[in-house]
Structure formats: structure tokens, C-alpha cells
Structure 1
Amino acid sequence: MANIREIQSRINSVKDTMKITNAMYMISSSKMTHAKKKLMDTEPYFYALQGEISRILRHLPELEHHFFDIREKIPAEERKIGSIVVTADKGLAGAYNHNVVKLEEEILEKPGIHKLFVVGELGRHYFAKRGVEIDTNFQYTVQKPTMHRARDISGVLLEQFRAGELDEIYIVYTRMENSVQSEAEVLKLLPLERSSFNEMKMPLNMYREAIDLYPSAEVVMDSIIPNYVTGMIYGCLVEAYASEHNARMMAMKSATDSAQSLIHDLSIIYNRARQAAITQEITEVCSGARAQQK
């Protein structure tokens, strides 16, 4: 049986670790709540932008725009595919980073010329070690996502899409289903698909208001769509940030529960060792007393 002092030292060590995991749980809980509030505050604006794009397409179904150009003439092997991969800056979040990386590796197996734009240090180090082409100027952290950062990211991607340096753009992030479950998913940013804006269909006999687009529908789209893409990226960043801290909360809760269970088991071992030591001392005293009597 282990020494009593060693068991006591191990119990104290586990208690110190449990304090750390419990503190990390509380911090992640606060950050996740703040992130969800930010997302709820900005969602109405970007839903309104989506509604306006749908409205324009409904009135002008024949409208052609370069952000809707799927570039059919480019074969699959020559298509330049860009992926924004949103991982965490650090670990201790369960399978959060693994799920995102696994999903991106499935995209990399598809035909085409791939280029990564990685947000988060862990993903950046992971793909750099595997020799995947990464935009080295694209150095962003996932901590405290802001609209300014989303606008910078969308500006880089929109410029490369317009210049023909990218034919398709995806974002790989983690969407929080609820307080318990999060799911890594792939969202296509560009080119936009008309079908995604046809959800708000109107009956044929309903009055359709007249609209006037100045100076032209193309110019209006050039103004609205970049803001819409920025909103999509911002929403994904905030969702990923909330999901990361939700995953860290669950991981830290599991670690705290394991620490409590370990302390319980060690306490039993400690008490047994202590009882054995006391019994041995009593036995030695009794043996000495009998020896003295003889």
C-alpha cells in the first residue's frame, strides 16, 4: 500500500487541478453567453440583407451577376477552391478542433486546386506541418470575433474571387445546435446560389410591389452582397467561438467530475492506509507491553 504522505500529496494535487478546471468552466461559460448575445444582436440586419437580395431576384429573375457565376466552363480538376477553416487557438476543448480538421481534410481530397485561409493557431500549425498551401498573410485569431475582422476577411476573399484567383469559397466552422451539442459543418460562401434565396416564395395572386434600383441592379447587388458575405462570415466566427467555449465547458466539467471521483477513491485508500498504520502501532504497543510483563 502507498505511503500515507504520498496519498495525501496526490489528493492535494488533484484538488488544485480541480480548482483550475472549475475556473476554466466558469470563464468559458461567461464568454459563450457574451458571444451568443452578440450574434442575436446582429442577426436581424443580415436577415434583412438576405431578404433584400431575395426581393431583387424575385423582381428580376433574369438578372446575371458575377457573384452568382458558377463558372461552369472550368473543369473540376482546375477549379481553385478556397476554404476558411475556423479552429481554436488552444486545446482543452474535447473533440472541437479534431472535428473541424477532419471535415476540411474531406474537402482537400476532392479534385481541384485548394488554398486554405485558417483562423486559429491550432489549425494553422496542423495544416502547415502537412504541407497544405496556406495564405501566410491571413493571420487572424478566433478570440473576440468582431465585425471589423469579418469585414477584413471577406474583403480578401471577395477580391480574390473577382480576380479569378478563387472559383469557390467555403467556410468550415462549428455550429452550436444547443447547450449540449455542436456540429462541424461546411457552408458555401461563393458563388451564391439562387435556390438559397428562393425560400421566401409569394403566392401568384399576391401584389408584388414595384422597386426602383438606382443606378442599376448590378450596382445595388455589388453593394449588398459584400455586406451579406461579411455577415455570413461574422455569424460563423461567433458561432464557432461560442461552440469552442461550449466544448471547453463540457470538457472542463468532465475533468472536474473525474477529479471529484478520483479524490473520493484516493480518500478511501488514504483512510485504509491510515487505519492500517494505527492498527500496526497498536499491535506494536501491545507486543511491547506483553514483553515487559514477561
Structure 2
Amino acid sequence: MSGSQEIRGKIDSIRNIQKIAKAMEMISASKIYKTQKRMLVSKPYSETIRKVINHISLGTLEYKHSYFLERRKIQSVGYWIISTDRGLTGGLNINLFRKLLCDFDKWNNLGTNIKLAMIGSKAASFFHCMKPMKIVSCVYGIGDAPEMSSLIGSVRIMLQLYDNNQVDRLYLAYNKFVNTLSQIPQVLQILPIVSVDKTTLRTRYWDYLYEPDSKTLLNSLLQRYIESQVYQGVVENLASEQSARMMAMKTASDNGEVIINDLKLFYNKVRQTKITEELTEIVSGASVM
């Protein structure tokens, strides 16, 4: 019965793993509400400040900030890459990385330098050994309730590179939360700022009155705008992470049940074959006697 014992051992091992997967599914399900609430709370501010910046970009300002569209020869680009700190999220991270690798191939073919700011340990470990890309910042361990204070360092490093003409474009890469079943890899251009809906915005007059002056106000406003976009990307990625992990663990638990049923069927066949062989031996022995 060594074969039967081995099969029973496999069934017990799979059942234990199934219990762990089920527990992780329930934990992720309990966290989904909080992460989605955090995302929805910050979303109106992020969208409103983006709309204001789009309006300002079409205004007739005396002071032209360097963050608005300007013609630079693209010699270097920078990316904030937002990933998860933990695994078991299905294809969430790898889908984003695959999209980024396509972009990186295009820049490499043009001879453009790439500088990366990592938010999340999975991105750091994935891109760490890839050349000729350079990692200038790495933030991880932000938890399920991230604070802006933990992201400011990464934001300022990349903005300083942009201000010093060491980076000519800045992008933000993260997983956009659509719903519990769908998360889309997203790569957005942050700098220079390009107005998204120019046709609609130009039908109206969007100029503002600035107090104390446009330079002081814009320097502060644009800083807040970029910080809000990075923070919104982080909280959306967290909501995507919990949803992807819940679905991945549910799939693992369901697949475990399928494997257990197949092993039980195989176990019964092995056991039946063994019993048949024993009965045959008994009958053969009885006939000889």
C-alpha cells in the first residue's frame, strides 16, 4: 500500500496549501474595502488638480514654467515604477513590467538613457540587474496605508533630475484599478505637462488671476500636482494588488479542489486494483488447495 500512502500524503499536502490560499483570499477580501476607499477618497483631488493644470497649460501666462510643454532633445527619460511589495498577485506585476520593457526597447533603440525610481520591492528586484538602466531611487515597505511623506523623497529626486536637464521626460507606471476583476497597466507622461483634451478646453477662456503672482503660485501648485499623481498611482496600485491577490488565491483554492478530486479518483483506482489482486491471490490459493 505504499502507492496509496503516497497519494494520501499528496492529498493532505494539497489540502493544507488550499487552506492557506483560502485564508489569504479572505484576508485580501477584508482589505479590499479599505484600499478602495482610500483610492476613492484621493481620486477627486487628483482629478481636479489635473484639470486645473490642463486649464493653466492653455492660458496666456507671463511666467512660463519649465514643467509645461517645451522642446527638449530627448536624451534621457525617467520612470516612477509602482509595484507591489509582496507576491502572489497573479500577473499583476509582470503585465506592467512587460509593458515597460516594450517602452524601454524603443528608448534603447534611440540611444536614450533610462533612469528609474522604484516604489515597491518587486520592481526593484526585477529591474535591478537590467542594463543600461539606472535606478536612482527605491522605496519599499510602504504598507497598506501609505503616507505622502514616504514618497516625497522619490518625487524630489526625479524632479531635481528634470530641473537639472538630466532627465527630459518623466513617466508614471502603475496598475490602474478598474474593478475587482480588471486591472490595467498604465504608463502616463507626467512631465513635460501636455494638456489632454485641448479641443474642449480651447472653446473656453481658461485664464486665471494669480495672487500673489503666477511664479510663486505655479511653483507650489505644480509640486502638489506631481505629488498627487504619484500618490494616486500608489493607492490605485494597492487596490489592484488586493483584488489581484484575492482572485489569485481563489483560483489557487479552486484548482486545489480539482487536483484533490483527481487524486481521490486515482487513489480509489489504485486501492481497487490492489484489492482485486489480493482477491485473485486468495482464490488462486484456494483452488490449489
Pick the TM interval, shorter chain: 0.7 to 0.9
Q: What is the alpha-carbon distance in structure 1 between the residues aligned to residue 49 and residue 197 of structure 2? A: 11
State the Cα deviation string for residues 231-257 of structure 1 (Å, max 9, x = none): 111111111222223222222222211
- State the Cα RMSD in Å: 2.8
Kept in 1: contact 2:56–2:206 (CA 8 A) = no
- 5+ residue gaps, structure 1, are none
- 5+ residue gaps, structure 2, are none
Instruction: Give the drift of 1:220.
Output: 1.1
Kept in 1: contact 2:113–2:133 (CA 8 A) = no
- CA separation of 1:100 and 1:129: change in aligned 2, threshold 3 A: same
2:186 aligns to what? 185
Instruction: Give the drift of 1:8.
Output: 1.0
2:11 aligns to what? 11
2:254 aligns to what? 257
1:227 paired with 2:224, answer: yes
Kept in 1: contact 2:116–2:134 (CA 8 A) = yes
2:73 aligns to what? 75
Greater displacement, 250-259 / 51-60:
51-60
Instruction: Give the drift of 1:137.
Output: 4.4
Q: What is the alpha-carbon distance in structure 2 between the residues aligned to residue 244 and residue 199 of structure 1? A: 36
Match for 2:60: what amino acid? L
Match for 2:35: what amino acid? A
2:210 aligns to what? 213
State the Cα deviation string for residues 61-80 of structure 1 (Å, max 9, x = none): 6652111043x2x434xx22
How many residue pairs are counted as aligned between the two chains?
284
1:97 paired with 2:97, answer: no
Kept in 2: contact 1:89–1:122 (CA 8 A) = yes
Match for 1:220: what amino acid? L
State the Cα deviation string for residues 154-198 of structure 1 (Å, max 9, x = none): 2222222222222111112111222212221211111111x2264
2:103 aligns to what? 107
- CA separation of 1:226 and 1:262: change in aligned 2, threshold 3 A: same
1:157 paired with 2:155, answer: no
The structure number with the bigger radius of gyration is 1
- CA separation of 1:61 and 1:190: change in aligned 2, threshold 3 A: same
Give SS of 2:125's match: helix
Give SS of 1:138's match: strand
Kept in 1: contact 2:116–2:136 (CA 8 A) = no
Give SS of 1:189's match: strand
Give SS of 1:129's match: coil
Q: What is the alpha-carbon distance in structure 2 between the residues aligned to residue 177 and residue 5 of structure 1? A: 47
Give SS of 2:190's match: strand
Instruction: Give the drift of 1:268.
Output: 1.2
Match for 1:49: what amino acid? I
TM-score normalized with structure 2 length: 0.85
- Out of 73, 85, 88, the position equivalent to 2:84 is 88
Give SS of 2:81's match: strand
1:239 aligns to what? 236
Greater displacement, 279-288 / 150-159:
279-288
Greater displacement, 246-255 / 208-217:
208-217
- CA separation of 1:55 and 1:115: change in aligned 2, threshold 3 A: closer
Greater displacement, 95-104 / 140-149:
140-149
TM-score normalized with structure 1 length: 0.84
Give the fraction of aligned pairs with identical amino acids, expressed as a percent: 28
Give SS of 2:135's match: coil
Give SS of 1:213's match: coil
Greater displacement, 52-61 / 184-193:
52-61
1:201 paired with 2:198, answer: no
1:120 aligns to what? 120
- CA separation of 1:136 and 1:61: change in aligned 2, threshold 3 A: closer
Q: What is the alpha-carbon distance in structure 1 between the residues aligned to residue 46 and residue 199 of structure 2? A: 16
- CA separation of 1:276 and 1:241: change in aligned 2, threshold 3 A: same
- CA separation of 1:26 and 1:259: change in aligned 2, threshold 3 A: same
Greater displacement, 103-112 / 227-236:
103-112
